[in-house]
Structure 1
Amino acid sequence: MPSMLDPIFGGTVVYMCEHNQNGALGVVINKPTDMTMNVLFDRINLKLEIIPDTPEAMPEMYRRPVMFGGPVQVERGFVLHSTTDKFSSTLQVTDDIALTTSKDVLEAVAHGDGPDQVLVSLGCSGWSAGQLEEEIGRNGWLTVKADPSIIFDLPVEKRFAAALRLLGIDPVMLSGQSGRA
């Protein structure tokens, strides 16, 4: 909900990757870290196939921020991507989107032959069995059908408002105050 004051989840958009009787797993798609993809590649010893002469010449994908995906397993990388090839440790989320936790997808991206659309996060968001349903029942979350263009095409700072607009809500018209008459 827009009024959520939680320091971790307030103002977030979480892309839900799995939700079943055992719980739920998602990735926050609108909280960038101060790390970019090229810095991540350097830290995990992946060499870029195309090494630019100047930082400005670096392909846009390598300049994208790595997201804070959530407070669970923050030392681990989670890669949301358009489906192309199968990678190790891949969860097929939809016909068009997969979640991979193995390094091979990042190796493919670094070599220039990875998926066209990629969002990398450190950590994920997780809920135990029934926990997310309880939070939704208490009006803790708004839910909307995912739109891949919000995940992959929009600038990070526009994703929250775009997700609200899918519900017909203009974020400018929201108030953090509530009451009863």
Structure 2
Amino acid sequence: MPGMADERFSRSVIYLCAHSAEGAMGIIVNKPASDLTMPDLLVQLDIIEKDDAIRLPHRIGHMPVLMGGPVESSRGFVLHTPDFHIEQSTLLIDEGICLTATIEILRAIADGRGPESAVLALGYAGWQAGQLESEIQANGWLHCPADPNLIFNTTLETKYDRALRGIGIEPAMLSTTAGHA
């Protein structure tokens, strides 16, 4: 919601990966990691040589690195299409979305063997048991069905407005205050 006081989550679009009685976990899919590109990350992790970064296919070289959330921000999480799977490492979350958090998926992406569509996020957003539900009841969050097109689209700056329009809300009409019926 527009009145989100925590700047880390202001205008965030979060894909909720897990939700249970113990809590929730999600990945912010519209906030770029500051000053870090996929080629830079692949070089830092010794997956490719610096000279090879320029030879990466366009879709890999321009794949955004996202700030997935404030928890474990040095750990990488790859949301991707289900056309790629690593046994014991890939979690099918929804019909068109998987999560893999191993360096092997980054190697596969760099080698051209990875999933058709993917986004890499550093860190995640987490909520304790009942916390997310309380925040939703307090009008802190809006929710909508998952949309792979929204998650994997690389145009980050319009994802928030597109997510709102997807549930019939015109962003300019949102208010920072809300009532309870």
The TM-score, its normalising length taken from structure 1, stands at: 0.89
The TM-score, its normalising length taken from structure 2, stands at: 0.89
Aligned to 2:159: 159
Deviations 1:13-64 (A, max 9, x none): 000011111111100001101211111101101127x947x58x85132223
Amino acid of the structure 1 residue aligned with 2:61: Y
Aligned to 2:48: 47
| Alignment gaps of 5+ in structure 1 | none
Deviations 1:100-154 (A, max 9, x none): 1111111100000100101001000111111111111111100000111011125
Total equivalences in the alignment: 177
- CA–CA distance in structure 2, aligned partners of residues 15 and 136 of structure 1: 15
Is the contact made by 1:51 and 1:58 (CA closer than 8 Å) also made in structure 2? Answer: no
Give the superposed CA RMSD: 2.2
Amino acid of the structure 2 residue aligned with 1:160: Y
Is the contact made by 1:90 and 1:98 (CA closer than 8 Å) also made in structure 2? Answer: yes
Aligned to 1:77: 76
- CA–CA distance in structure 1, aligned partners of residues 13 and 103 of structure 2: 25
Aligned to 2:174: 174
Is the contact made by 2:77 and 2:122 (CA closer than 8 Å) also made in structure 1? Answer: yes
1:179 Cα deviation after fit: 7.7
Question: Cα–Cα, structure 1 residues 164 and 154, in superposed 2: closer, same or farther, change >3 Å?
Answer: farther
1:67 Cα deviation after fit: 0.3
Amino acid of the structure 2 residue aligned with 1:44: L
Percent of pairs with identical residues? 42
Is the contact made by 2:64 and 2:154 (CA closer than 8 Å) also made in structure 1? Answer: no
- CA–CA distance in structure 2, aligned partners of residues 115 and 60 of structure 1: 11
Question: Is 1:65 paired with 2:64?
Answer: yes
Describe the SS at the equivalent of 1:8.
helix
Describe the SS at the equivalent of 2:72.
strand
Question: Is 1:28 paired with 2:37?
Answer: no
Amino acid of the structure 1 residue aligned with 2:43: D
| Alignment gaps of 5+ in structure 2 | none
1:77 Cα deviation after fit: 0.3
Aligned to 1:10: 10
